[in-house]
Amino acid sequence: MDYKKYIAEKIKVDGVTEEEVYDSLALPPNLEMGDFALPCFKFAKVLRKSPVMIAEELKNSVATDDVISEVSAVNGYLNFKINKSGFVRSTLEKILTEKDAFGASNEGEGKTICIDYSSINIAKPFHIGHLSTTVLGGALYRIFHFLGYKTVGINHLGDYGTQFGKLISAYKRWGDKETVDKGGIRALNELYVRFHKEVEEHPEYEDEARAYFKKIEQGDEECYALFTWFKELTLKDVQRIYEMLDIRFDSYAGESFYSDKMQPIVDELKEKGLLVESRGAQVVDLEEYGMPPCIILKSDGSSLYATRDMAAAAYRKKEYDFHKCLYVVAYQQNLHFKQFFKALELMGKEWSKDLVHVAYGMVSLEEGTMSTRKGNVVFLEDVIQKCIEKAYKIIDDKNPNLENKEDVAKKVGVGAVVFGALYNSKIKDIVFSYDKVLNFDGETSVYVQYTCARANSVLQKGGVPEAYEIPELSTEEIELVKAIAEFPEVVRSAAEKYEPSFISRFAVDVAQKFNKFYFDCKILSAEDETTKNFRLALTVASLQALKNAFALLGIGIPDKM
**Is it the case that residue 366 has pLDDT exceeding 70?**
no
What pLDDT is stored for residue 340 in this prediction? 97
| Total-model pTM | 0.88
Q: How far apart are CA 125 and CA 234, in angstroms?
A: 9
Residues 6+ apart with CB under 8 A from 545: 95, 102, 103, 484, 487, 510
Q: How far apart are the first and last CA of the chain?
A: 35
- Sketch the domain layout of the chain as residue ranges: 3-82, 112-261+302-365, 263-301
What pLDDT is stored for residue 367 in this prediction? 64
Q: Which residues pair with 152 in a beta bridge?
A: 114
**Is it the case that residue 559 has pLDDT exceeding 90?**
yes
Q: How far apart are CA 72 and CA 78, in angstroms?
A: 6
**Is it the case that residue 109 has pLDDT exceeding 90?**
yes
Q: How far apart are CA 413 and CA 385, in angstroms?
A: 8
- CATH entry 3.40.50.300 includes domain 3-82: no
What pLDDT is stored for residue 2 in this prediction? 79
Residue 280 burial (CB count, 10 A): 10
DSSP 413-457: HHHHHHHHHHSS-TTS-EEE-HHHHT-SSSSSHHHHHHHHHHHHH
Percent of the residues in the chain that have a pLDDT greater than 90, as a whole number: 73
Q: How far apart are CA 144 and CA 111, in angstroms?
A: 10
Distance of CA 479 to the CA centre of its chain: 27
Amino acid at the residue 475: T
**Is it the case that residue 371 has pLDDT exceeding 80?**
no
Residue 89 vs residues 54, 69, 151, 473: alpha-carbon distances, Å? 32, 15, 34, 11
Helix (H, G, I), strand (E, B) or coil at 37: strand
Q: How far apart are CA 457 and CA 438, in angstroms?
A: 22
In 131-197, beta strands by DSSP E = 150-154
State pLDDT tens for residues 384-433. 999 999 999 999 998 999 999 999 999 999 999 999 999 989 988 877 77
What pLDDT is stored for residue 372 in this prediction? 47
**Is it the case that residue 126 has pLDDT exceeding 90?**
no
What pLDDT is stored for residue 114 in this prediction? 98
The angle that helices 221-244 and 177-198 make with each other, rounded to 10 degrees, is: 100
Largest CA distance in the chain: 85
Residue 334 is classified by DSSP as H
Residue 290 burial (CB count, 10 A): 7
Distance of CA 369 to the CA centre of its chain: 24
CATH classification of 112-261+302-365, choosing from 3.30.300.30, 3.60.20.10, 3.90.870.10, 3.40.50.620? Answer: 3.40.50.620
State pLDDT tens for residues 403-414. 999 999 999 999
Q: How confident is the model at residue 376 (pLDDT cuts 50, 70, 90)?
A: low
What pLDDT is stored for residue 108 in this prediction? 97
Q: How far apart are CA 95 and CA 511, in angstroms?
A: 16
The angle that helices 445-462 and 529-553 make with each other, rounded to 10 degrees, is: 140
Determine phi and psi for 325, rounding to 5 degrees.
-125, 115
Buried b (16+ CB within 10 A) or exposed e, 217-231: beeeeebeebbebbb
Q: How far apart are CA 498 and CA 495, in angstroms?
A: 5
Select from 225, 244, 67, 231 the least CA-distant residue to 158.
Answer: 231
Whether 427 contacts 360, CB under 8 Å = yes
Q: How far apart are CA 113 and CA 322, in angstroms?
A: 6
Residue 474 is classified by DSSP as P
The whole-number average pLDDT for the span 297-309 is 87
Domains 3-82 and 112-261+302-365 share a fold: no
State pLDDT tens for residues 504-557. 999 999 999 999 999 999 999 999 999 999 999 999 999 999 999 999 999 999
Q: How far apart are CA 279 and CA 422, in angstroms?
A: 43
Residue 368 burial (CB count, 10 A): 9
State pLDDT tens for residues 149-196. 999 999 999 888 888 899 999 999 999 999 999 988 889 989 998 999
